[in-house]
Every structure is written in C-alpha cells, then in structure tokens.
Amino acid sequence: MQVQDFALAIEGLKDITFPRFVKIRQRFNRIKVGNIPDQVHREFSKTPVATGIPHGCRVAVAVGSRGIANIQEIVRAVVGELKKLGAIPVIVPAMGSHGGGTAEGQREVLAGYGITPDEVGASIHSSQDVVQVGEINGQPVYYDHFAFHSDAVVLINRVKPHTDFKGPIESGLIKMMVIGLGNHAGASSIHRQGFENFRQLIPKVGEIILAHTPPTIGVAVLENAYEETAIIEAVPGADIWKREPELLKTAKQLMPRLPLDAIDVLIVNEMGKDISGAGMDNNIIGRVEGFDEVPSIGKIMVLDLTERTHGNACGMGYIDVTTTKMISKIDFKVTFTNDIASGSMEKIPPFLNSEKEALQVALITSRVRPEKSKIIRIKNTLELSEMIVSEPCLPGLTGENMEILGAPFSLAFDEKDNLL
C-alpha cells in the first residue's frame, strides 16, 4: 500500500537534537556446530532414530517459516540421511497460516530460504488440506493431510523461547506439530483459545497429535547469540516430552540480550516473521505481560521490514513510531490473515515522513532531555552482538564482555532525512 507523505505541525519537533553515538560489541557464548552434514549424520545414526525410519517408507519432512540459520543445509542433510535409510522424503510446509495461508504462498516462503526440490533433493507437497485427529475444549485438532497419510514424520525446527507465552514447552518441535502442521485451519483453531492458555494447551494438543498420527522424529536446532547453529539433535517421538524442555533451558542460556536495564528509545533496523513470530522477539523487547527479565524500553522505533517476511508486519502493534517507507511495504492481506488466525489484532503505529522525524517524535514523547537520552540502535532482535548506543548509555556498559569500538560520532542522514 502506497502511503503519501504529509506534514505535521508539532511544537518544538524541529528543535530536537541527538546525542553522539558509539559502536559497541557484546561477547556471548559462541558454541556452534562445526560441520552440519556430519552432525546430522551422527544424529540419524543413533539406533532409536534409525529404527524409526523403515526402508521404503514415505517421510513427510516438516519445515517452517522461521529464519533458521543454515536451514537449507540442515534440510538437505536430513533428506540425505533419510535416503540413506531407504526412505522417500517429501518436504511439507509446517507454518500454520503464514505465507498468506495458501499452498502457493507457503511454497514461496520455503523458496525464499532456498528450500526447493533442486536445492534439497526432495519434492515439496504444499497444501492446506487437513484431517481432524481429535478435539480439545470443543475445538477441532487438525493435522496436515499429506503428513497424516505418510509413514513417518520428521519435524525440523528451532527450539527457543516463545515471544508471547512462557512454559516448559514454547517454540519448537511440539508447537510445530500443533500449529505448523495444523495449516491455516489448525492454527486458527488453536489460536482462538488464546495465548494465555498456550502453556497448558500446546502440550495437551501435542499428546493428542502424537497418539493419532504417524511415528514422529524431531530434529531440534538451537542457535547461539550470533545466529549460528549451536546444537542439532534428533529426538525420537517418545523422548520429545522429556528432551524439549531441557533443550529450551539451554536455548534460553544461549540467547543474547540488550546491555542496559533501562532504555529511552530502541531503534530497530528491521522486523519480520523470519526474525520472530511477532516480528520482534519479546524475550528481548518485553512488550508482553510476564516478560519481566528484559529492559524497560520507553519507545520502540522500527525502520523497515525484512525481505523474507514478504510484507508480513505481524507485531507492528509493538512499535511506537515508524515511517511511511515501512508502512508502504506492508502486505495487509498477508498480515491480517496471520493476525486474525492468531487472534492478535494489530494496531498501526504513528508513521512519519522520515527516520529523522520519527526519532524526534520518539524523543519528544519520551519526555527525556535529548542530550541525556539513552538510545540504542540494533539491526534486529536476533543480532545483538554489535550495535550503536548514545553516549549517556556508556556509564552502564561495563564488564569484560563489553567492548567499545571507535570514537563517538554524530548520526548521519541522507537527502531524505533517513538514517545512514
């Protein structure tokens, strides 16, 4: 949707100036997988995993819409191992209502990650057809039709803290089964019951699905704070209940965080579904009740959508101010399809003509003196190893894991008053 520029008369806005900034680096735990195909081979050589894949069987390989590091290489390696075991792997999108809730849209999302038949060595079956495998709280439990009629299912997903609820099981293998493989119908049915119930609901629905669907193996992927593959582990279906909560604890320990407890303005270069289901990770920004172990952030300003989000601006309600440039990139059909299916009705934030004007609005509404404002600019909520911070932040940045890179500088803008 094209948005026209417009003029606002805000007293004192043009007089708002900005403090100087410095670039900093945080150091986090950098455990990572050295050779992905070798690690996948080791995992599929484990007896409980290998014996769960009979020779000649058709295996639905479930792949989601998240921007998982090295996902193409991981999927290719899993497909290769399944073929070595004599199976016939077929890729199945497991992304609920994402991709506009259509078969073609979800195929396009996979292609955006390089997951095509030529690249990963397996055909793709994308469909919104489902079968009902049970019922909970009067709502149907759905499962992908093709996966249901396969001989086995392999789930490939990142295990990480969820952005909207807390529990022993959050984002990962079980949630992919419950919502991802439920397609649009299943995702809508589950989300209608509310995020506040997900802590109990996801495990209960997972039990129903595991009891009434083909044998399942999970391939859990964990990432470090640098968006690198830290752990790949194959988990037999019977062990998922015990192992996934343990992996979630490890994932939380590996997560990055912002370096201060209080921030006046957080500038985020980009948001999108490939970054987080909510566009930005609430484990970083804390815009949902119950996410208390995160900084207090006065205003959040977002500059752009990622290319891989395909116009999906889910989570824009967490933004306090943005620009006409970002609003113009939103595919409202895709966004609202996802919003309504998830039960999260979006609000459109105020948008200004330029990033300079948006930052001035963020500061003037923060009620803080600009020269004393604590401003942090990050690329996205996944990449927090390097960022720029305003000089008033510096007294709070101490410790051996913090490094200042270079001398202070002033913000620079282009001819359209957008940040350089």
**In this model, does residue 4 exceed pLDDT 90?**
no
Give 214-251 pLDDT, tens digit per residue: 999 999 999 999 989 999 999 999 999 999 999 999 99
Q: Of 172-186, 258-272, 344-358, 365-379, give the lowest mean pLDDT range.
A: 344-358
198-202: average pLDDT = 92
Q: What pLDDT does residue 35 have? A: 98
And the tokens for 156? 């490939």
Can you tell me the mean pLDDT for 138-159?
97
Single-letter amino acid code for the residue at 49: V
Is a pLDDT exceeding 90 seen at residue 121?
Answer: yes
Q: How many CA atoms within 13 Å lie on the side-chain side of 249?
A: 5
> 66: pLDDT confidence band, cut at 50, 70 and 90?
confident
Mean pLDDT confidence for 306-334? 94
**AA identity, residue 19:** P
Residue 302 has pLDDT above 80, yes or no: yes
Lowest mean pLDDT among 137-141, 346-350, 361-365: 346-350
- In the structure, what pLDDT confidence band is assigned to residue 342 with cuts at 50, 70 and 90? confident
Round the average pLDDT of the chain to a whole number and report it: 93
Per-residue pLDDT, averaged over 42-51, amounts to 90
Mean pLDDT of 76-105: 95
What tokens appear for 196 in the block? 């506040």
* pLDDT at residue 164, as a whole number: 80
CB of 130 within 8 A of CB of 183?
A: yes
Decide which of 315 and 340 is more confident. Answer: 315
Given this model, what pLDDT does residue 372 score?
A: 94
**358-380 average pLDDT score:** 94
pLDDT band, residue 166 (cuts 50/70/90): confident
pLDDT at 52: 85
Evaluate if residue 288 carries a pLDDT over 90.
Answer: no
Which of 65-69, 186-190, 293-297, 301-305 shows the highest mean pLDDT? 301-305
CA distance 409 to 93: 46
Q: Where in the chain is the domain with CATH 3.40.50.11440?
A: 36-254
CATH number, domain 36-254? 3.40.50.11440
